[in-house]
Each structure stands twice: as C-alpha cells, then as structure tokens.
C-alpha cells in the first residue's frame, strides 16, 4: 500500500514536472470534489517528523479524563500509533488526543448514531463522549499502516457487529481493530 501510493505520487510529480499540466488541467478542473489537505499527494505522509508539538497546557491535560498520545513510534516499536489504542470510559467523559509531533489527527469511523468527528492535522484535539457505544477512529494519513484506536463508552457493546467489520477498514487497521474488539 505504501509502495503503491508512493509510486503513484512519484508518477504524478513527474507528469506535472514534464510540463504536461496544460494537457491534464481540464480534467482536474472538471473534478466535482474538493481536495482535502490530507488527500493531496505528497511524500510527507510517511516521513517521520520529530519536530515536537506542545499545544496544550498542563491545566488542559488535567481537565480531561483520558489522554491518548499520537505517536510516530508506538510502545512496541510499531510506526504511527495511538497510545493507548483502547479507551474504556463512562458516558460524559472527555478524551484528549495529544499531538507530540506533526503529522497526525483523529477521524471517527464507526460510531453510535453515526456521530462524526474529524480533527485538524498536526494539532491536539478533544471530544466529549455523551452517547454510549463503540467508537472506532483513525489517523487520516496513517490508517493503512494501522494508526487506529477504539473507544468503548459506558460499557455499551450494542454496535459491535458494525464496529467489528466495516468497509472503511483495510490492511493493518482492520487486523488491529478486530484484535482489540475480539477481547470483549
């Protein structure tokens, strides 16, 4: 997946670099969708950036119920991980995903009532969980290499079937989500 993506990126760069932009420009202009920042093809996605980010205060950290660190290297040495990957919290509690370096965010995948949340890249983010159930989430640029997490709110496993297997999961993300949810 990484190889294929990088290959596509390289080809794209070469193509544009060869002054072929005017040829493909009409095709680009005709695209009906907006290109989001994280979908722009660039080689930075899988480059580890160690520039530290300290965008939350000790007081802000103290005010939340759980802190999940967004890491370039996880506790067991895997690249791009949340720590912890599983959070079990009561209804009404708040999680802070703490940025430690650039490159990461949080985007919900399967949630109760299809609740949506997507944070900005490179920044810490908080969310208060007022609806019980299972929430699966990803780092938008790093889902394919397994940067995923699970939140179980209020011990409610009623959306387990949907959360366990979903079309949005693939690669290491699917394997890791099913490993976490298989413990319940």
Binding residues for Cu ion, rule: CB under 5 A, are 80, 104, 139, 142, 147
Q: Residue 80 or 127: which CB sits closer to Cu ion?
A: 80
Phi, psi of 40 (to 5 degrees): -65, 130
Q: Residue 93 or 140: which CB sits closer to Cu ion?
A: 140
Longest dimension (CA), the chain: 57
CB of 162 to Cu ion, least distance (A): 24
CB of 173 to Cu ion, least distance (A): 12
Q: Residue 143 or 180: which CB sits closer to Cu ion?
A: 143
Residue nearest to Cu ion (CB): 139
CB of 135 to Cu ion, least distance (A): 17
CB of 58 to Cu ion, least distance (A): 24
Q: Does residue 79 contact residue 72 with C-beta atoms inside 8 Å?
A: yes
d(C-alpha 31, C-alpha 26), whole Å: 9
Q: Which long-range contacts (CB under 8 A, 24 or more apart) does 74-82 make?
A: 78/146, 79/48, 79/145, 80/104, 80/139, 80/142, 80/145, 80/146, 80/147, 81/146, 81/147, 82/139, 82/147, 82/148, 82/149
Q: Residue 80 or 169: which CB sits closer to Cu ion?
A: 80
Q: Residue 112 or 139: which CB sits closer to Cu ion?
A: 139
d(C-alpha 41, C-alpha 181), whole Å: 32
Question: If DSSP codes are grouped into helix, strand and coil, which group holds residue 4?
Answer: helix
CB of 142 to Cu ion, least distance (A): 3
* Residue 21: count of CB within 10 angstroms of its CB: 11
């Amino acid at each position: 997946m990484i190889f294929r993506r990088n290959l596509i990126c390289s080809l794209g760069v070469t193509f544009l670099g060869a002054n072929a932009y005017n040829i493909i420009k009409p095709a680009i202009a005709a695209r009906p969708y907006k290109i989001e920042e994280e979908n722009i093809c660039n080689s930075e996605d899988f480059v580890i950036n160690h520039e530290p980010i300290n965008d939350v205060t000790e007081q802000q950290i103290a005010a939340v119920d759980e802190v999940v660190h967004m890491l370039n290297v996880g506790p067991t040495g895997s690249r791009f991980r949340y720590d912890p990957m599983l959070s079990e919290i009561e209804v009404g509690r708040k999680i802070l995903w703490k940025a430690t370096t650039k490159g990461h965010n949080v985007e919900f995948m399967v949630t109760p009532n299809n609740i949506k949340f997507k944070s900005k890249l490179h920044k810490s983010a908080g969310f208060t969980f007022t609806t019980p159930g299972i929430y699966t989430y990803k780092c938008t640029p790093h889902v394919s290499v397994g940067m995923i997490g699970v939140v179980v709110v209020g011990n409610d496993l009623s959306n387990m079937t949907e959360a366990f297997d979903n079309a949005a999961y693939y690669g290491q993300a699917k394997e890791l989500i099913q490993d976490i949810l298989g413990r319940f």
